[in-house]
Structures are given as structure tokens and as C-alpha cells.
Chains A and B, each alone.
Chain A
Amino acid sequence: MKTVTRESRRDFLKIASTTAGGLFIGFNWFSCDSPKVEVLSTEEVLAQAKPFNAYLSISPTGDVVIYSPNPELGQNIKTSFPMVVAEELDADWEKVRVIQANLDTEKYDRQLTGGSGAMPHSWERLRKAGATAKYVLVAAAAKMWNVPAEEITVENGIISHKGSGKSGHFGEFVAEAAQMEAPEEVQLKDKKDFKIIGTPVKNVDADEIYTGKPLFGLDFYREGMMHAMVQRAPFGMKIKSIDDGAARAVSGITDVVQFGNSVAVVGNSTWPLMKAKKLLKIEYEAESTVESSADHDRIFQELMANGKSDVRRQDGDIKSAFQNAAKVVTAEYQCPFLAHSPMEPENFFAHVKGDRCELIGPTQTPDRARQTAASILGIPAENVTVEITRLGGGFGRRLRADYVDEAVHISKAINAPVKVTWSREDELTGGAYRPAVRYRFEAALDANGTMIGYKLRGVGMNAGNTTREHNFPSGAVDNLLIETVNYESSITTNAWRAPITNFLAYAEQSFLDEVALEAGKDPVAFRLELLDRAKNNPVGQLGYDVDRMIGVVKTAAEKGNWGKNPDVKQGFSVYFSHRSYVAQVANIEMQGGTPVLKKITAVTDCGMVVNPTGANHQVRGGIVDGMGHAMYTNLTFENGLPKQRNYDSYRLIRLKEVPEIDTHFIDSGYDPTGLGEPALPPTGGAIANAIFAATGRRLRSQPFIEQKEFSDIKLEIRRS
């Protein structure tokens, strides 16, 4: 079925008839015998290219330039966005150049990376960008050849008319097409005709990445630029006094700047800053609560018992359900604070020039960077430009603009361009963590082992709503109560890859395993029984598509050979988040009394897969991320500061610690949904459940390796 869509004014600027171009005598790709052709630089292509819309310019040489507006942090959007545009354009991918667009709120909508939302948000507008350009190129060819447009075909960047035998590459029609109006409506391709979407197109930045070219914010350099590092206050504290004498005496230090509760050392290069920062003598005093992990333990216990809750959802009569229950299952789960720890530490370049400001660096939210600078400087947002570099990971940390804030303050104070660089210690102590949370689950079972009541009470440290009240198993249980309690901690928190669900899914999927066991049911059969109820006789609102969830559960059971081999101990988990569905099976084999985690099978329904390579990357990466943090990573506090300050104590998963990961995708016929996050949430539960199946030890706290239940089971991770 073909889709007809309407134009959106916001994204589709009219073709500018005034742009330069057409005079350049470019290389003619089709009149030369030699395949050894002149390769134009992207700048040379752009100098003669005509813009067709916000996403697309085409040069008379036939080269296609596609702008990718959303920040690239490893989710592969800089490759997958242009694939969608090129698909509808019927471009030759070999002739496509991709450019990271700078922040432009006039041209682009939702120019940010977060919530696994870029592809679902932009899918249709990217397709329209390609399709409208193709439409006018075809119209130009029809006019120039004096043939009906309907008889013209386009393939691989070549426009052809069979009847007259005429054909030419895109570039030959660019000048004529530029005189034409973009259509109000445009036909999109039938998905079965896709040639680029669904193929494993390689990373468009591969050459630069593998040869060490400057790509990332930390690599940015400009003549005359100063460097700065910042000492921030412990959480809940403020500066009482500063002695910067020793810091200023370090060779290469030019300035020490204070703003708020931060002190910046400024110099000509990075190393002297690291030395000088250690020599700052800053005395702090309490400003609000100065917390340690022991305080958090106490606060969690108090609030779990007595804290005033926000009731998120209530179905049926929870009280009688528990009174009439044949069996009640109760368990508490907990997860610690975590830092994001992207490999590229936070950094940003700022140059304040009077009432203007130039920003360059890695950000998931370029518009927030711009607004931050405008607010500090008291200037209009349009006086601030933001150039987006490639991001060396983000995981939610770069949704914040605190490091942009610092760069702007320092540039203003020293009246010079400056790049702020955070050390790893800064990154781990600098806040905006994944919040710490605890959950108490209670399930009421009747004599048949049917779950007739379900209670979830979450307590979080600056977590907001710690639940997802309309997610499974809501809708499948008659009597249900979901409530959350928030504690306002002085320790700052922020979205962290798959916010809330990154720990909620582990806790819930592990608890459901406990309930299945108590009900005497197979964990997969128990989930399917609940889903069947939600499908046929749902209770209240459903925040998920039951059929799609059943689809991944059944397929994961099949692909993961669930319950087929008694020597393989398995854990199951399924979760819906960010519009996608992922089910996982973790396999542990006992080898000479030692449990060996060997394999995780993952089945994903994220709608249509745009790029199988990228999709595999996101699923495997999400699983490695979810597994690493569930198993190994902890962030604990003493007097307002984390105790773990670098990778020697803040343990990240390494290569030898990953099992085989077998990925499968369900083609459900839906448009693509998010994939940067959804594979992470189910992983902790799948592993915890497999460990229970293999050892009888239930791991209700992360990280697993620090739990006493884990200490003597000697889990190994091997692929063979």
C-alpha cells in the first residue's frame, strides 16, 4: 500500500531558486571511460549543491549531501537517518555524503538524542524529504525531455525514460528542478520496494574513527583557545573559603575563576590544569543535607515503611484480594546510584563575544545548551550558535548542560575562547546520576496459582515516578496498587539509558519469577497466562500492545530453546519500553559444579529494522550495558562525595565478561520504533533468574557481585 502524506512547512523549505550553482563544470560521471575519477571534497560538493529541503542538497555532479540533525552518540543515527532519505530519493548510496547538521530550530524539530525517539519521530519526515526531492527531479526531467513524468523511472541515482531511451544522473536535473515548487503531497514507496532500508549499511564515520581524525568534542581545537578544568563542591555543600595560591603557581596556569560553588583553573594546555586543580585548597560548609550511603539506607527504610506515596494506579479491591489470598509473595529489590561514564568525558567549547556566543561540543540536547548560554549571558537564544560534534557516548549524561554552563561562565570571565574538560574523577563525582531506588512487591495468589492481587511500592532518590504504572503486569491483574515515594536528595540525578525501566524491569521480572515459582508454574507459561488475561479481558488501561509482547515472549522461548535441555539452567525476562518489545533468555550451564553463563538470546520487536548492523549493535550493546551494571557497578557515598572515583573502583564490564548474544528481530509490519534503550531493561532480570535456576540464590540487589548470596557461587562467564 502506498502512503500519501502532506507536506509540513516546518521541515520543507521551498526550494530556493536563488542559491548559487549550475555554473560549475563538474566531472561527468557518465562520459568518462576511466573509473579513476576526481573525488570532490564535501566542501566542493556543497559549494555547488542546491538545497532541496532541510535534509538534502544535490550537486550538479550528482553528489547527494544529506544532513543528519540529531546528535550521534553511537546509536548510529548519522547512518540510519540518511539511509531513510536516500531510500525515498532512490539515490546511489555510494554518492551520498553525510553531514552532521548544527542546531537549527527553524529547520528541524526535536533535534535531540534521548528516549529512543529519533527514528519514530522522524521516520515519515525523512521519507518525505527524499520523496519530494525525487518528485521535482523527475518533474524536471519530464520537462527537459518533454515526456510524461509518469513514464519516468528512478533507480540508484539515475533518472530514465524507457520510451525515448533517455537517462541521466540526478545532477543533470538539479538546475531545472531548483526552479520548481516542491509538491504539497507526495507518494511514499511501498516498503517491499525498499533497497537501502533493511540492508547493513556501514557507519558513515568509519574512516575518520579508525584513523584517529578529530571528530569528538574533546578533539576540538582552535588557535588561541584556552583550556579549563573545574572543581565542583560535594553534594549539599558550598564554598567557605578558597586558597588558590599553589594552583596559580603551577607553570602553564593563567587564571583561577570562581562562579557559584565552582572553581575553574585556566591554562594553555590540559596537564597543568590537572596538577593545579589538585592544589586548590577549598574549604566547604554544609548548605543542605550532606549525605552518605548509610543515610540513604536509613531514609529508604523509613520511606518504604511510612513515606507519603503518590498512588499511580489502583484497580479493583486490593485489600480483599490479599485477605482472600491462598498465598502471598513479598520481596524487596534495590539498585544503587550509577554514573553514566561515557568514554569521552564531558567537555565543551564556548566563545563569548559580547552579546553573542559560539558553542561547540558533544551534547544530546543542543537547544538546551543554547538556552543555557542565553540565560547566563542574558542574550537572545538566536545569538547563540551550537555546533554538534560526534559524542563519545552519552547514556543520558549529555542531556544535561552543566558543562556547557561552565564553559560559558569561564569564557565570559576570561574574555577568551575556552574548552572545559572533565577528568574521569570529575565525571564520577560530578553528579546527575541514575537515581538509587528500592521496590517492595507483593503478589496475592489464589488456590489455583492465579495472581489475583499485585502491589508495587517504589522509593527513589530524586527519581520522580519510580514506576511505569500502565506497563505489564497492569491490565492482567484484577486488583492492583502501584505507588511511588520520592526523596529529595542533595545528590543530583538525571535520565540514564532507559530511565527508571533500567532497574524497574530487573526488579519486576525477577519478582514475577518468584511468583511463578510460588504458583508452581513455568515462568514463561505464567507470563503468557497473564498476557492472555490482558488480551482477552483487560483490566483498565494498557500501556503496551499485548500481541506484540506475546510475540516476543513466544519467539524468545522458541529461539532460546526454553525448557528443552534440563542441563541448561535458564532465566526469562521480557519488557516493553520506548515503544519496543524485548524478551531475553539467559543460559547457564553447570560445568563441574561451576555455573557458567554462556548465552543470552534476545528477541526484539522494534517494528521495521532500518539497519540490521545498527540494530544488532543496539541490542547487544544494551545487553552488555545492562549486564555490566547489574553485575559489577556500584556508586556509594560518604559525606556528599562518591567513594568510587575512577575505573579502578568503579567497575565496568570488560570483553571477557560477555557471553554469546544471539539476536533475533520480529518483523511485525510496524514503522520503526526506538532501539537505543529497550534491550537494556530485561537483561538484569534474565541473568538473575538464570542464576536462581542454576544455584537457588535469588539476587535482589545490584550489583550482584557485592551480594552475600553471590559470594560463593563462583559464576563464570564463557562463550564455550
Chain B
Amino acid sequence: MASFNLKVNGKSFQVEVEDDTPLLWVLRDHLGLVGTKFSCGIAQCGACTVHINGNPTFSCVTPVSSVGNSEVTTIEGLSENGDHPVQQAWKEVDVAQCGYCQGGQIMQAAAFLEQNPNPSMEEIDNAMNRNICRCGTYHKIREAVALAAKNK
């Protein structure tokens, strides 16, 4: 066991966990931030996507010991009132079916648009191809990212 000081969604937290504990499980089990989802555990599906210093990151393969002083942002901290342009676009387009992967999709899209505010559809496709949606909401994900880029 070791002690880690984490900066998550602008707040400081201290947790006592093993070094190899993935950030995903620190967020979910120790900080109660369950918006970051577990699905594959091997960086294949993107349900666990968070931002580390603004970069989209698969938290399921990110050991807590590697996070250091970095700023972690989860879906709960993306915006104060759930009104980030990407969240608004997701609502407007009514993207979700089951909804389980959508937090990770939104985090992927938000980081992508931060780095590329005026993307082509091809660039959107490449960025969002990292996340799996088993319900097949891909058409709407694509539409919502494009809408968020337009509205930003």
C-alpha cells in the first residue's frame, strides 16, 4: 500500500492503494466517481476514457502511480452543470441507447475537439474509432461530434 495525492476534477484527494491499481478503479471504488466505466480492462473499448492534463486516456491501464500531479478530469467534472458543448450536442442528437459507453465517448470527443476545434468528418471518424459502442450508435456519435464542433 502507498499513499497517493490525486487532482481530480479540480479537487485534491488522498488514497491508500497498491501502486499498480489502475486509475479506473481508484476513481470508481475509492472516490465514488462511477461515471468512468469498466468494460474491457485492456484499453480496447474506451468506456474508461478520462482526461489527464487534457489528453484522452484509457484509465483502465493507467496505474495510479503514474498519475503524479497531473490534472485528471472525469465525465463528472467535464462541466459544472452538464452543459459542456459536447454534452449539449449529445442531448440534442439524443445519442444514447443503453448509455453505458457514452461517458467515455463524450470524454474522447471533448478532448479531440479541444485539440482540433474544426475537424473534418474523416478526422472525427479517426478520433472516435477508439471507442466501442455495442448498441451501434455510431451514426449519432458522429453527428453529435460534428454538431458540438459547430456550436463551440
Which residues of A come within 8 Å of B, CB atoms? Answer: 72-76, 200, 202-203, 205-207, 209-216, 218-219, 221, 227, 251-252, 269-272, 274-275, 341-345, 390-395, 421, 423-424, 613, 617, 620-625, 628, 646-648, 652-656, 658, 661
A270 close to B28 (CB less than 8 A): yes
Q: Which of B62-81 contact A (CB under 8 A)?
A: 74-76, 78
B39 close to A210 (CB less than 8 A): no
B98 close to A343 (CB less than 8 A): yes
A624 close to B136 (CB less than 8 A): yes
A623 close to B134 (CB less than 8 A): no
**A-B residue pairs in contact (CB < 8 Å), sample of 26:** A74-B98, A205-B99, A207-B82, A210-B103, A212-B36, A212-B75, A212-B76, A212-B103, A216-B100, A221-B34, A251-B18, A269-B29, A343-B134, A344-B100, A345-B38, A391-B98, A393-B98, A393-B134, A395-B134, A424-B41, A622-B136, A647-B44, A648-B42, A655-B142, A656-B126, A658-B138
Which residues of chain A are near B28, meaning CB under 8 Å? Answer: 270
A613 close to B128 (CB less than 8 A): no
A212 close to B100 (CB less than 8 A): no
Q: Which of B131-150 contact A (CB under 8 A)?
A: 131-142
Closest Cβ of chain B to A89, distance in Å, is 23
Chain B 92-114 near chain A by CB (<8 Å), digits 1 or 0: 00101111111100100000000
Given contacts A206-B91, A211-B35, A392-B98, 17 further A-B contacts (CB under 8 A): A210-B87, A210-B90, A212-B103, A270-B28, A271-B20, A344-B39, A392-B99, A421-B38, A423-B41, A424-B40, A617-B135, A617-B140, A621-B137, A654-B132, A655-B128, A655-B133, A655-B141
Tell me if B21 is interfacial: C-beta within 8 Å of chain A.
Answer: yes
B76 close to A390 (CB less than 8 A): no
Cα distance A628–B98 in the bound complex, in angstroms: 18
A390-B98 contact given A210-B91, A270-B29, A271-B25, CB 8 Å threshold: yes
Cα distance A438–B67 in the bound complex, in angstroms: 51
Question: Interface size of B by Cβ–Cβ distance < 8 Å?
Answer: 58
A625 close to B136 (CB less than 8 A): yes
Which residues of chain B are near A73, meaning CB under 8 Å? Answer: 98
The closest CB in chain A to the CB of B75 belongs to A212
A271 close to B100 (CB less than 8 A): no
Cα distance A30–B62 in the bound complex, in angstroms: 54
Tell me if B7 is interfacial: C-beta within 8 Å of chain A.
Answer: no
Which residues of chain A are near B25, meaning CB under 8 Å? Answer: 269-271
A647-B132 contact given A210-B90, A269-B25, A343-B37, CB 8 Å threshold: yes
Top 5 A-B pairs, shortest CB-CB distance = A212-B35, A624-B136, A392-B100, A74-B98, A74-B97
For A73, A252, A655, which residue has the most chain B Cβ atoms within 10 angstroms?
A655
Tell me if B17 is interfacial: C-beta within 8 Å of chain A.
Answer: yes
Closest Cβ of chain A to B35, distance in Å, is 2
Tell me if B129 is interfacial: C-beta within 8 Å of chain A.
Answer: yes
Choose among A212, A341, A395 the residue that contacts B33 (Cβ–Cβ < 8 A): A212
A343-B47 contact given A214-B34, A221-B34, CB 8 Å threshold: yes
A343 close to B42 (CB less than 8 A): no
Which residues of chain A are near B33, meaning CB under 8 Å? Answer: 212
A210-B102 contact given A251-B1, A343-B133, CB 8 Å threshold: yes
B138 close to A342 (CB less than 8 A): no
B82 close to A628 (CB less than 8 A): no
A211-B75 contact given A393-B100, A654-B132, CB 8 Å threshold: yes
Cα distance A252–B76 in the bound complex, in angstroms: 27
Cα distance A227–B45 in the bound complex, in angstroms: 23
B96 close to A206 (CB less than 8 A): yes
Which residues of chain A are near B96, meaning CB under 8 Å? Answer: 74, 203, 205-206, 209-210
Which residues of chain B are near A72, meaning CB under 8 Å? Answer: 98
Closest Cβ of chain A to B104, distance in Å, is 9
Cα distance A25–B95 in the bound complex, in angstroms: 39
The closest CB in chain A to the CB of B89 belongs to A210
Which residues of chain A are near B97, meaning CB under 8 Å? Answer: 74-76, 617, 621
The closest CB in chain A to the CB of B90 belongs to A210
Cα distance A200–B76 in the bound complex, in angstroms: 27
A390 close to B99 (CB less than 8 A): yes
For A215, A272, A424, which residue has the most chain B Cβ atoms within 10 angstroms?
A424
Closest Cβ of chain B to A588, distance in Å, is 19
Cα distance A494–B103 in the bound complex, in angstroms: 30
Cα distance A211–B35 in the bound complex, in angstroms: 7
A74-B34 contact given A271-B18, A271-B25, CB 8 Å threshold: no
The closest CB in chain B to the CB of A209 belongs to B99
A212-B94 contact given A207-B82, A344-B39, A393-B135, CB 8 Å threshold: no
